[in-house]
């Protein structure tokens, strides 16, 4: 006999809530969660095996609570990626956790919470709202423009008026793939700083795919700016569960006030350090994935759909008459894409050449009358 969770004495604000639910189905072509399709290279597998074997001998002890070696390696990686020269950030500027979702949760535990508010620009990453709810932070949103860009004047006005404690800017944005120009991020930051409202979190889960520089380059002298990153996407390490943020050292110290002690296991730390010794191999697929992303865009456009130009490793395709039936028809062919709940849209991750070809081939075969908005009915 099982009862409904709502029948338990759970918090009122969690009653009737649905969990994050990307379907996990074992099909041939999984292009629904923006993973990198390349498994770890042999050289990395050997490094992981060695470092995990070493870590295994210490498992009777708690791991390094501050994950210094991992954070140092992450700081070097971020500096190499973003700085024209020299070390842009160091260990003190970086904090790591089990995926960037945990990073964001820790940030909301610090800067959000009961009686506090967060602001996002919709459509955007659904977890921002879910993490806000979990930390009892109220969440407000401002709609993006027709091209899914943030309307900066409106955003500035909203920040001045509602003074949110946390502002989320996802760039490149999930699920639209659009980047927010760094100038606009500076404008938002200045509004936050001027009104002394809260902090600006730039979620850069797809930074390595973007044509523009990382917001990490804006960090010096901007203590209210926090850039969150992950190893799950371009870095091809979703299963390792490692995310991080880059910010002023004071933000790192603040995060330590809420993190659970020893939150990153010795095994996770070892696996992360191993990967950061093979950065080039891990990122090898990025350029190829951009080619596949552009193929998805071009093919969808040629077929009469309305894809959104993307700066990430996925494409939001609009113009479906009935996205859920298109989703099912693709699944029937062994292709899992994402129905993000946006009217007329499906989101498709750039996979291998073969996976992308399979998707493009099946998209071309969909019955346009059932799944696509045609010129006559739009
Ligand atoms: C995938 C994704 C993340 C995070 O994932 P983790 O695997 O928890 O690091 C964070 N933000 C955005 C926008 C994403 O798309």
DSSP string across 192-253: HHHHT--EEEEE-TTGGG-SSPPGGGG-TT-TTEEEEEESSSTTS-GGG--EEEEE-HHHHH
Round to whole Å and give the CA distance between 310 and 312.
5
pLDDT tens-place string over residues 85-114: 678 899 999 999 999 999 999 999 999 999
Count of CB atoms within 10 A of residue 295's CB?
17
Q: Which of 174, 231, 264, 271 to mutate to test the pocket of ligand 1 (most atoms within 8 A of CB)?
A: 174
**What is the structure's pLDDT at 77?**
96
311 C-alpha to center of ligand 1: Å?
15
89 C-alpha to center of ligand 1: Å?
22
Q: Are 209 and 234 in contact (CB under 8 A)?
A: yes
Q: Is the alpha carbon torsion for 111, 112, 117, 123 positive or negative?
A: positive
**What is the structure's pLDDT at 197?**
83
Q: Which of 125, 210, 228, 271 to mutate to test the pocket of ligand 1 (most atoms within 8 A of CB)?
A: 125
**Model's pTM, two decimal places?**
0.95
pLDDT averaged over the chain? Answer: 94
The answer, yes or no, to whether residue 24 has pLDDT greater than 90, is no
**What is the structure's pLDDT at 20?**
81
Question: In whole angstroms, how far apart are CA 117 and each of 197, 222, 251, 352?
Answer: 10, 21, 18, 40
The answer, yes or no, to whether residue 314 has pLDDT greater than 80, is yes
127 C-alpha to center of ligand 1: Å?
8
Round to whole Å and give the CA distance between 370 and 351.
26
Round to whole Å and give the CA distance between 197 and 260.
27
**What is the structure's pLDDT at 21?**
76
284 C-alpha to center of ligand 1: Å?
20
Q: Which atom of ligand 1 is nearest to the CA of 230?
A: 9
User: How does residue 32 score in pLDDT terms, banded at 50, 70 and 90?
Assistant: very high
368 C-alpha to center of ligand 1: Å?
33
Q: Which atom of ligand 1 is nearest to the CA of 242?
A: 9
Round to whole Å and give the CA distance between 192 and 186.
10
pLDDT tens-place string over residues 125-147: 999 999 999 999 999 999 999 99
205 C-alpha to center of ligand 1: Å?
5
Round to whole Å and give the CA distance between 350 and 358.
11
**What is the structure's pLDDT at 367?**
73
Residue whose CA lies nearest to ligand 1 atom number 1: 205
Q: Which of 74, 126, 127 to mutate to test the pocket of ligand 1 (most atoms within 8 A of CB)?
A: 127
User: How does residue 378 score in pLDDT terms, banded at 50, 70 and 90?
Assistant: very low
**What is the structure's pLDDT at 376?**
47
Question: What residues flank ligand 1, with Cβ below 6 Å?
Answer: 34, 99-101, 125, 170, 174, 203, 205, 230, 232-233, 238, 243
235 C-alpha to center of ligand 1: Å?
12
- Cβ contacts of 288 within 8 Å, gap of 6 or more: 353
**What is the structure's pLDDT at 23?**
82
**What is the structure's pLDDT at 371?**
60
Q: Which atom of ligand 1 is nearest to the CA of 231?
A: 9
125 C-alpha to center of ligand 1: Å?
8
Calculate mean pLDDT across residues 216-232.
97
86 C-alpha to center of ligand 1: Å?
28
Q: Which atom of ligand 1 is nearest to the CA of 100?
A: 9
2 C-alpha to center of ligand 1: Å?
32
Q: Which of 34, 203, 264 to mutate to test the pocket of ligand 1 (most atoms within 8 A of CB)?
A: 203
Burial class (CB in 10 A: 0-12, 13-18, 19+), 322: middle
Residue whose CA lies nearest to ligand 1 atom number 4: 100
């Amino acid at each position: 006999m099982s009862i409904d969770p709502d029948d338990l004495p759970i918090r009122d604000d969690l009653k009737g809530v649905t969990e994050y639910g990307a379907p996990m189905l074992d099909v041939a072509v999984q292009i629904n969660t923006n993973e990198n399709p390349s498994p770890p290279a042999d050289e990395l597998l050997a490094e992981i095996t060695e470092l995990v074997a070493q870590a295994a001998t210490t498992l009777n002890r708690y791991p390094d609570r501050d994950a210094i070696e991992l954070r140092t390696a992450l700081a070097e990686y971020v500096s190499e990626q973003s700085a024209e020269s020299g070390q842009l950030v160091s260990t003190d500027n970086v904090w790591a956790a089990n995926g960037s979702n945990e990073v964001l949760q820790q940030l909301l535990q610090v800067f959000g919470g009961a009686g506090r508010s967060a602001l996002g620009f919709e459509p955007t990453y659904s977890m921002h709202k879910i993490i806000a709810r979990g930390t009892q932070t109220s969440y407000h949103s401002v709609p993006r423009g027709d091209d899914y860009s943030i309307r900066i004047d409106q955003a500035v006005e909203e920040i001045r008026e509602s003074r949110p404690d946390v502002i989320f800017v996802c760039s490149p944005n999930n699920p639209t793939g659009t980047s927010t120009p760094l100038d606009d991020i500076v404008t938002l930051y200045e509004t936050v700083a001027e009104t002394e409202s809260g902090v600006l979190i730039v979620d850069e889960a797809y930074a390595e795919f973007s044509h523009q520089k990382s917001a990490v380059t804006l960090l010096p002298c901007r203590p209210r700016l926090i850039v969150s990153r992950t190893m799950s996407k371009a870095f091809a390490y979703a299963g390792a569960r490692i995310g991080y943020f880059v910010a002023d050292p004071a933000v790192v110290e603040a995060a330590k006030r809420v993190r659970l002690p020893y939150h990153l296991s010795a095994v996770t730390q070892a696996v992360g350090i191993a990967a950061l010794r093979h950065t080039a191999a891990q990122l090898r697929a990025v350029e190829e994935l951009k080619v596949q992303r552009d193929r998805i865009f071009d093919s969808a456009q040629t077929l009469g759909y309305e894809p959104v130009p993307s700066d990430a490793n996925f494409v939001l395709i609009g113009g479906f008459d009935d996205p859920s039936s298109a989703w099912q028809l693709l699944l029937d062919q062994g292709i899992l894409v994402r129905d993000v709940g946006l009217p007329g849209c499906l989101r498709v991750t750039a996979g291998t050449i073969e996976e992308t070809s399979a998707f493009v081939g099946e998209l071309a075969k969909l019955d346009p009358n059932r799944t696509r908005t045609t010129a006559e009915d739009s």
